Structure 1
Amino acid sequence: MEESMRQIVEAEARALHAIPYSDAYDKAVGLILEHVHRRGGKLVASGMGKAGQIALNIATKFSSTGTPAVSLHPSEAQHGDIGVLQPDDILLLVSNSGSTREVIELVTLARRLYPAIPVIAVTGRAESELTRVADVTLLTGGAEEVCPLGLTPTTSTTVMSVIGDVLVVNVTRRTSFTAEDYAKRHHGGFLGFKSRNEADNI
């Protein structure tokens, strides 16, 4: 078990270090700042299956750090939930393959409502349908899953989560978000107590 654990941790750490950097990160942060913080829209994150759970995680981190965000299930979007979109929103779509049918269809539905809505894609494939329709693509590096079958989203979801963290942290820095601001959004639990305490000591 110890050897297996070390192999898994090392494989996922290598995948994280191999995330390719490009100016797409600057563009993604700029789009979020423009649409959410200047125009008053929100970030709408979506993905299917395990990637959808990462999208939800990213949305909640954005919301707690001063960037209004929601998670939209791509299948439910086809049954009316697409109505959550507003003109100045921005889509953040997560799909390792970049070919998830429900996610691609979500782009079509969103642009039928608002043709200019920007799309940030997080995917493992540079040549994919999602990359083709996105305004900005953040590539994961396409590392193999540590799952012994090579199928279960493991490494890919770890990398996607960290890419989300990169976006959240850099938007938070650009908006000068403070502990006092955090405390207003996170009243309960240890983090609420810690943020209020830090705000009081400023």
Structure 2
Amino acid sequence: MNQQEITSLLQREADAILHIPVNEQYDRAIDLIVERIHHKKGKLVISGMGKAGQIGQNMATTFCSTGTPAIFMHPSEAQHGDLGILQENDLLLLITNSGKTREIIELIDLAKGLYPETPIIVITGNKDIVLAQQADVFLLTGNPKEVCPLDLTPTTSTTVMTVMGDILVVGTMKRIGFTAADYAKRHHGGYLGDKSREISH
């Protein structure tokens, strides 16, 4: 790729981020996270298939390091016993670009069968799906066109999902008053551990 092609690709990714729909659903999502995890002492259970699942794994670890207990649950493994990780006061965050991922749709029914009152946050690129009626919070990606030349490989969509996860993490950190001292307690090793201890002293 030449420099012009790379610059164009970067511009398309940046434009997709800037066109993420911004509305009150983010506040509602953060309200649920604070209520279920920080007030009722549940945890955030994140799930997604394929590339969306990899983004979910990253979200879970980022939430954990910033004071919000979270875990990634693979939606297929949930059907073979891993659903047992779900507890009464937990919150589900489901990620599916198409909104039609069979395992995610089935996971909602399975989770509700175990704990009917479990709230659900959905991140998706498709507003015209059955999940829209089942979700307590519905966060749209803006359904950007992938930078993949085939418009198939999750590229721009996963970039946008990552940023949306960052919004939820940062919003939750601010809401709970998470400090560098709090960070240092959870991140002992490496450069970030050293930096957080320096800031907190």
- Tell me which interval the TM-score lies in, with the shorter structure as reference length: over 0.9
Query: What is the CA deviation profile of residues 133-181 of structure 1, one whole-angstrom value per residue up to 9, with x for unaligned ones?
Result: 2111000001100000000000000000000000000000010001010
| Equivalent position of 2:149 in the other structure | 148
Task: Please give the TM-score of this superposition, normalised by the length of structure 2.
Answer: 0.98
Q: Distance in 1 between matches of 2:62 and 2:120?
A: 19
Q: Is 1:68 the counterpart of 2:74 in the alignment?
A: no
Q: Distance in 1 between matches of 2:179 and 2:73?
A: 28
Q: Distance in 2 between matches of 1:82 and 1:130?
A: 19
Query: What is the CA deviation profile of residues 5-38 of structure 1, one whole-angstrom value per residue up to 9, with x for unaligned ones?
Result: 1111100100001001111111100000000000
Aligned-pair identity in percent equals: 58
| Equivalent position of 1:51 in the other structure | 52
| Equivalent position of 1:171 in the other structure | 172
SS at match of 1:196: helix
SS at match of 2:143: coil
Letter matched to residue 199 of structure 1: S
Letter matched to residue 95 of structure 1: T
Q: How far did residue 3 of structure 1 move?
A: 1.6
Q: How far did residue 197 of structure 1 move?
A: 1.1
SS at match of 1:46: strand
Letter matched to residue 8 of structure 1: L
Q: Counterparts in 2 of 1:175-190, with a 5 A limit?
A: 175-190=176-191
Q: Counterparts in 2 of 1:1-202, with a 5 A limit?
A: 1=1, 2-200=3-201
Structure 1 stretches of 5 or more lacking a match?
none
SS at match of 2:188: coil
* RMSD between superposed Cα atoms in Å: 0.7
Query: What is the CA deviation profile of residues 118-147 of structure 1, one whole-angstrom value per residue up to 9, with x for unaligned ones?
Result: 000000011112222211100000110000
Q: Distance in 2 between matches of 1:7 and 1:198?
A: 38
Q: Distance in 2 between matches of 1:129 and 1:11?
A: 29
SS at match of 1:21: coil
